[in-house]
């Protein structure tokens, strides 16, 4: 059973990744291209300021040499590279999602497979995508100091880990309080506990702001909106599609047994 759910989860994740790729190509890549153009203009302006007495031929040669250093072309990055990255991410996420579903199924009230899958996808989207996004939103290529990419990545995944740990704590708290205080009151208390932990983490963790003063605010907004849109599509597709696939595996045999009886 676990193996079947794992395979179906990876299939659902792959489909979700492909849908996310289509959205990224349509809405994310234009912002990335504009950000790269901004970065190149900024570098050219800085080089011109430093070598304002250099002739035009020398500047052209330097620009040509800079282009030759590119290991992977921009078209490959925006096409095959993006497709591969999103597909691998979606497939791996689908596999992990199916394992979490296998553990949670039957333990979250009286929800069927579709409801359990949708609820887990909502939890995942909030705890893995939305909460870290609020503290450390993604930036386009022209934003950010390359020397700080390591600490920035560590802080982002640290926020993800805190959010997941707080979510698991809230779920356990809700289950313990439900019998004594009722499901609704227990849910409110658990949600409040999660919010408190997240607010404390958001305040305590260091703030990172490396956006250049002259960077386009609308471009930054569009890029971040596209980034969260990709996550929303992936999680929504994963929750709905995997729920349908899991229901066929888990619920139809019971229906057939009841019909036969």
Give CA angle at 166 (161, 168), nearest 5°.
95
Chain mean pLDDT for the chain: 83
pTM exceeding the 0.75 threshold for the entire prediction:
yes
Question: Percent of the chain having pLDDT more than 90?
Answer: 46
Residue ranges of domains in the chain: 2-143+216-260, 155-210
Q: Answer with the residue of higher pLDDT: 141 or 246.
A: 246
Residue 145, classed as helix, strand or coil, is: coil
Mean predicted confidence (pLDDT) in 207-223: 85
Contacts of 235 (CB under 8 A, 6+ apart): 16, 121, 122, 124, 125, 129
Contact criterion met (CB below 8 Å) for 108 and 119:
yes
Q: What is the pLDDT of residues 17-47, one digit of tens each?
A: 999 999 988 888 888 888 777 777 766 655 5
- Compute the distance between CA of residue 85 and CA of residue 21 in angstroms, rounded to an integer: 9
| 234 φ, ψ (degrees, to nearest 5) | -65, -50
Q: What is the pLDDT of residue 61?
A: 41
Mean predicted confidence (pLDDT) in 85-93: 92
What are the structure tokens assigned to 23, written together?
A: 């959205």
């Amino acid at each position: 059973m676990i193996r079947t759910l794992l395979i179906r989860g990876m299939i659902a994740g792959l489909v979700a990744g492909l849908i996310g790729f289509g959205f990224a190509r349509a809405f994310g890549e234009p912002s990335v291209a504009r950000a790269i153009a901004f970065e190149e203009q900024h570098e050219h302006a800085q080089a011109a300021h430093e070598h304002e007495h250099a002739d035009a031929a020398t500047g052209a040669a330097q620009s040509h040499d800079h282009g030759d250093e590119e290991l992977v072309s921009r078209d490959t990055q925006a096409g095959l590279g993006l497709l591969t990255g999103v597909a691998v991410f979606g497939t791996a996420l689908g596999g992990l999602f199916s394992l979490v579903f296998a553990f949670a199924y039957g333990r979250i009230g009286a929800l069927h497979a579709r409801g359990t899958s949708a609820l887990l996808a909502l939890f995942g989207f909030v705890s893995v995508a939305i909460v870290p996004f609020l503290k450390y939103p993604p930036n386009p290529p022209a934003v950010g100091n390359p020397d700080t990419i390591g600490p920035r990545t560590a802080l982002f995944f640290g926020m993800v880990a805190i959010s997941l740990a707080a979510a698991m704590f809230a779920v356990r708290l809700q289950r313990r309080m439900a019998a004594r205080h009722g499901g609704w009151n227990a849910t409110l208390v658990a949600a409040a506990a999660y919010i408190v932990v997240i607010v404390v983490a958001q305040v305590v963790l260091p703030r990172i702001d490396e956006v250049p003063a002259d960077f386009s605010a609308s471009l930054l907004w569009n890029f971040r909106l596209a980034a969260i849109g990709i996550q929303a599509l992936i999680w929504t597709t994963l929750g709905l599609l995997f729920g349908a696939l899991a229901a066929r595996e888990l619920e139809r045999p019971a229906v057939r047994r009841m019909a036969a009886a």
